[in-house]
């Protein structure tokens, strides 16, 4: 290996020494260029592969933070460099993010929407520039729309007519879009998403207006007819309002019904009907109210209103009195001409008169309240009706047993609610719903007996069945007791009879033994020799042992004799 390197270096030196100055300069330049290219490629490959979201930095921190938060909500990874340029992973993600920001009105103010479609164009004539511009805009808009997750494919056509000299003759710029949605998407019915696509077109195409944009589906149905969708929106609003009313009714019903069932038990209060009328219209009230001035407020501890009110308070007062005395002056016409004064006033012209005028001026102040409020929604009326059943009590006779009717059903007594209980329950319901007589609220608490025919029939059957079971058990237990008593009596009698029989047998044995003994004694007295066989002696010993054992253990002997008798 070393020999090969030495040989290579010697060849390079030989070639370098034989080369001219121009050749040496060219070779040196090539080597420097190759080294520079390698360094440039290394630096380029080591740089992060990200795409800027906008080509200009976003200096507004609030706007930049809102953009980053919205991108984070969509799981889009974005980075910000020191200059303030936001970058994302690739061009597809950048188009998706731009579309999202345009739809959400989060495009920074220093970023022109036209920058979304700023591409390099190499043209030679104005016609080619215009054609390439329109093509670029169309392609960019198509890519942006197709970058949406819910759009499978989009077909965009933009028409920009030539400019005319007079504005009246100028044809408008138009745009048409056909959307092919993905399965399970609601983009064709979601008004907000369609408005985002329409706004994207307005920003992308210069001079385009909303009325010149048509967005349809694959079946030709117009999707951006928002004026026609107003009726659908109204139906949706009505549905949401009805849902709100239903939710409010459910809350009131659950609260009041739970309170009543805890008092009267769930079986007596089964349901509660409530109807809430709400005014969903949006009203703006601007009013001025004038009210008396309160000198002393009402004391809440007293059962009556002891407040002191005055209509107004005098801030300043001025009294003017004018008094006049003397003769009146009767103006007449020119000299030598008769005046036009009526004779009545003419006769009174030289009379002496007195006149007095008095005037009083006061500045009064009253309470004034300026009210400006927006009301929506509000409850117009609440109606509540509830039925509470009374109590059913079983009637018992003197023996503590339920009384039966002729049809074999149990007699019951219905105890209705008293007037005081109904009044207290009505007040409880009124306080629970916030009762206001002024708005026409209505609360009805009735005591109507429930139809409990099936329930009473089941209870009667269960009670009668329980009574029958009780009687059956009593009879069975009585029979068992009688059997036990009979067994005890039989046992006692049997033992007594057995005892008597045993005593009788013992007596017979004693008599036999006595007779045998007497026979032996008589034979001895007569001088006779009595001989006993071995068997008779053994029998005599057994009898003596049996008699002794019977005296010591009579129960065991009786059991043994009974066993022998049973075996025989």
Contact predicate 121/132, CB 8 Å: yes
* pLDDT value of position 384: 92
For residues 101 and 64, what is the distance between their CA atoms, to the nearest angstrom? Answer: 11
pLDDT at 121: 45
The DSSP 8-state label assigned to residue 182 in this structure reads P
Question: Contact, 204 vs 113, CB < 8 A?
Answer: yes
* Strand order across the beta sheet in which 442-446 lies: 272-279, 378-387, 442-446
Identify the helix (H) or strand (E) that includes residue 202: helix 191-204
pLDDT of residue 123: 45
For 121-168, what is each residue's pLDDT tens digit? Answer: 454 567 767 777 777 788 788 888 888 888 888 888 888 888 777 777
The encoded tokens of residue 60 equal 């507004």
What is the reported pLDDT for 66?
86
Question: Against a cut of 0.75, is the pTM above it?
Answer: no
- Please state, in angstroms and rounded to a whole number, the distance separating the CA atoms of residues 251 and 202: 47
Name the residue ranges covered by the structural domains of the chain: 3-45, 53-104, 126-226, 531-566
| Exposure of 308 in the CB half-sphere (CA atoms within 13 A) | 2
Query: Which of 301, 449, 294 shows the shortest CA–CA distance to 369?
Result: 294
What is the pLDDT, as a whole number, of residue 105? 66
CA 228 to CA 225: how far, in whole Å? 5
Q: Which helix (H) or strand (E) holds 153?
A: strand 151-159
Q: Which residues of the chain have pLDDT under 70?
A: 1-2, 5, 8, 15, 19, 42-49, 103, 105, 109-125, 128, 228-232, 326-353, 520, 523-537, 540, 565-568
Strands 173-181 and 208-217: parallel
Distance CA 443, CA 424 (A): 12
Beta bridge partners of 86: 80
β pairing state of 293-296 and 308-310: antiparallel
For 126-226, give the CATH class: alpha beta
Q: How far apart are CA 472 and CA 466, in angstroms?
A: 10
Enclosing H/E stretch for 28: helix 21-46
Strand spans (E) along 244-397: 272-279, 283-291, 293-296, 308-310, 313-327, 352-365, 367-375, 378-387, 391-394
- Does residue 440 come out as left (phi exceeding 0), alpha (psi in the -120 to 50 range) or beta? left
Alpha-carbon gap, residue 497 to 70, rounded angstroms = 111
Distance CA 375, CA 479 (A): 84
């Amino acid at each position: 290996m070393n020999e090969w390197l030495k040989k290579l270096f010697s060849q390079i030196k030989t070639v370098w020494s034989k080369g001219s100055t121009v050749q040496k300069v060219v070779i040196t330049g090539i080597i420097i260029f190759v080294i520079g290219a390698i360094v440039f490629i290394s630096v380029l490959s080591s740089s992060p592969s990200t795409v800027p979201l906008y080509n200009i930095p976003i200096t507004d921190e609030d706007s930049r933070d809102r953009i980053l938060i919205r991108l984070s909500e969509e799981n889009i990874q974005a980075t910000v460099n020191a200059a303030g340029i936001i970058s994302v992973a690739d061009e597809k993600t950048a188009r998706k993010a731009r579309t999202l920001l345009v739809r959400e009105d989060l495009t920074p103010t220093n970023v022109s929407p036209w920058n979304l479609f700023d591409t390099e164009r190499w043209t030679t004539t104005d016609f080619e520039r215009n054609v390439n511009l329109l093509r670029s805009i169309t392609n960019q808009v198509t890519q942006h729309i197709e970058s949406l997750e819910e759009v499978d494919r989009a077909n965009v056509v933009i028409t920009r007519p030539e400019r005319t000299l007079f504005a009246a003759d100028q044809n408008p710029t138009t745009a048409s879009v056909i959307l092919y949605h993905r399965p399970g998407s609601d983009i064709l019915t979601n008004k907000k998403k369609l408005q985002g696509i329409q706004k994207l077109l307005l920003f992308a195409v210069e001079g385009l207006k909303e009325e010149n944009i048509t967005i349809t589906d694959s079946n030709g149905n117009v999707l951006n007819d928002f004026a026609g969708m107003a009726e659908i929106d109204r139906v949706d609003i009505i549905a949401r309002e009805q849902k709100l009313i239903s939710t409010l009714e459910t809350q009131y019903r659950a609260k009041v019904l739970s309170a009543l069932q805890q008092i009267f038990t769930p079986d007596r209060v089964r349901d509660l009907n409530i109807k809430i009328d709400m005014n969903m219209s949006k009203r703006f009230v601007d009013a001025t109210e004038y009210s008396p001035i309160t000198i002393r407020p009402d004391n809440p501890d007293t059962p009556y209103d002891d407040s002191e009110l005055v209509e107004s308070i005098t801030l300043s007062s001025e009294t003017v009195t004018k008094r006049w005395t003397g003769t009146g002056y009767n103006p007449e016409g020119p000299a030598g001409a008769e005046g036009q004064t009526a004779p009545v006033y003419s006769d009174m012209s030289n009379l002496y008169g007195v006149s007095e005028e008095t005037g009083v001026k006061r500045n009064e102040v009253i309470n004034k309240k300026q009210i400006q409020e927006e009301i929506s929604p509000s409850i117009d009326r609440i109606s509540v009706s509830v039925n509470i059943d009374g109590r059913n009590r079983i009637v018992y006779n003197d023996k503590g047993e339920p009384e039966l009717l002729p049809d074999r059903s149990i007699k019951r007594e219905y105890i209705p609610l008293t007037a005081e209980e109904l009044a207290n329950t009505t007040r409880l319901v009124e306080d629970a719903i916030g009762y206001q007589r002024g708005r026409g609220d209505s609360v009805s608490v009735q005591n109507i007996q429930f139809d409990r025919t099936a329930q009473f029939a089941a209870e009667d059957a269960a009670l009668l069945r329980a009574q029958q079971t009780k009687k059956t058990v009593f009879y069975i237990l009585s029979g068992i007791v009688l059997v036990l008593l009979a067994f005890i009596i039989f046992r006692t009698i049997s033992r007594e009879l057995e005892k008597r029989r045993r005593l009788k047998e013992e007596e017979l044995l004693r008599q036999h033994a006595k007779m045998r003994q007497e026979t032996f004694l008589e034979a001895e007295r007569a001088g006779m020799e009595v001989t006993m066989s071995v068997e008779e002696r053994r029998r005599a010993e057994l009898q003596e042992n049996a008699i002794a054992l019977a005296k010591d253990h009579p129960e065991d002997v009786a059991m043994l004799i009974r066993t022998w008798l049973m075996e025989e």
